């Protein structure tokens, strides 16, 4: 084997140095070819160099696409997607007409390798519509899940753990991050208890008998997975008694990466 030591290599004609077919150029033991040289940056603004273990190419920075599930369904892996980041929250519990509010659904998130996965069943927990009055137990929110990967239980309804107490929150499991939702509020004189806040934001507005069933009528103006806000005292001198808030449905957001 011969060694040639030079400071400069120039093409004898034009600006291209030709390596004959069947030959290769090695740099410190690594063969230099189309699989090891960076691709041309032309036309690839705001993209990054990506390797699949064999070759180099440009790819979009961040997720290539996002899918959102507001109701149960099936996530199907798009072509070219190898990993996903899933954010999931359970359904919220309903409130009571005596100011007690529902708990929010639990939350979980996880990075999942889906290179060998075709589809995943997505279940979205419903927010409870089973509100109640005074010390009765309101309904709890449903459980959300992303296949067998992560699960988030729903928040419990007002008064389900003890009379005149707020609903306990749900909790996430199976994720890289698992947290409780926000708990509901208990009976407080002359006040409406805000429903438990979820990972995605706060519960619906509180009301007053002068606004009728304001809380109930606008409980959809809140974040996914929140607990229902309690009704105003519910005293019988007001007719009709203002209705309390219902729990909000959960949600699943899937960020898709190459």
Mean predicted confidence (pLDDT) in 135-164 = 95
The whole-angstrom separation of Cα 84 and Cα 122 is 14
Q: For residue 127, is pLDDT > 90?
A: yes
Q: Is residue 103 part of a domain?
A: yes
Pairing verdict, β 65-69 and 56-60: unpaired
The whole-angstrom separation of Cα 211 and Cα 38 is 65
Token digits for 196?
């438990």
The whole-angstrom separation of Cα 94 and Cα 209 is 19
pLDDT for 238 equals 46
Q: Is residue 146 part of a domain?
A: yes
User: 169-195 pLDDT, tens per residue?
Assistant: 999 999 999 999 999 998 875 556 889
pLDDT for 170 equals 98
Q: Is residue 11 part of a domain?
A: no
pLDDT for 243 equals 84
pLDDT for 42 equals 80
The boundaries of the domain holding residue 134 are: 62-258
Token digits for 30?
């690594």
Q: Is residue 247 part of a domain?
A: yes
Q: Across all residues in the chain, what is the average pLDDT?
A: 86
Q: For residue 230, is pLDDT > 70?
A: yes
Q: Is residue 106 part of a domain?
A: yes
132 or 120, which is more confident = 120
Q: Is residue 31 part of a domain?
A: no
Q: Is residue 22 part of a domain?
A: no
User: 63-102 pLDDT, tens per residue?
Assistant: 889 999 999 999 999 998 999 999 999 999 999 878 899 9
Total structural domains in the chain?
A: 1
Q: For residue 26, is pLDDT > 80?
A: no
User: 215-224 pLDDT, tens per residue?
Assistant: 888 889 999 9
Q: Is residue 226 part of a domain?
A: yes
């Amino acid at each position: 084997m011969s060694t040639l030591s030079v400071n400069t290599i120039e093409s004898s004609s034009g600006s291209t140095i030709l390596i004959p077919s069947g030959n290769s150029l090695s740099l410190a033991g690594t063969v230099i070819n189309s699989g090891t040289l960076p691709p041309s940056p032309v036309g690839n603004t705001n993209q990054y160099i990506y390797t699949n273990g064999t070759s180099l190419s440009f790819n979009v920075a961040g997720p290539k696409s996002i899918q959102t599930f507001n109701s149960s369904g099936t996530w199907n892996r798009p072509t070219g997607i190898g990993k996903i980041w899933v954010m999931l929250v359970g359904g919220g519990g309903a409130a009571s007409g005596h100011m007690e509010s529902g708990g929010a659904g639990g939350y979980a998130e996880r990075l999942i390798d889906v290179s060998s996965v075709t589809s995943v069943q997505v279940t979205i927990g419903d927010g409870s519509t089973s509100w109640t009055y005074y010390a009765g137990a309101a309904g709890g929110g449903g459980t959300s899940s992303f296949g067998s990967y992560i699960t988030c239980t729903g928040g419990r309804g007002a008064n389900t753990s003890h009379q005149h107490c707020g609903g306990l929150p749900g909790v996430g499991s199976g994720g890289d991050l698992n947290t409780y939702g926000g708990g509901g509020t208990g009976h407080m004189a002359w006040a409406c208890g805000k429903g438990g806040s979820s990972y995605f934001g706060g519960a619906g507005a509180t009301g007053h008998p002068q606004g009728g069933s304001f809380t109930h009528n606008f409980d959809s103006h809140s974040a996914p997975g929140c607990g229902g806000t309690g009704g105003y005292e519910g005293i019988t001198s007001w007719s009709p008694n203002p209705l309390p808030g219902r729990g909000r449905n959960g949600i699943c957001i899937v960020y898709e990466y190459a």
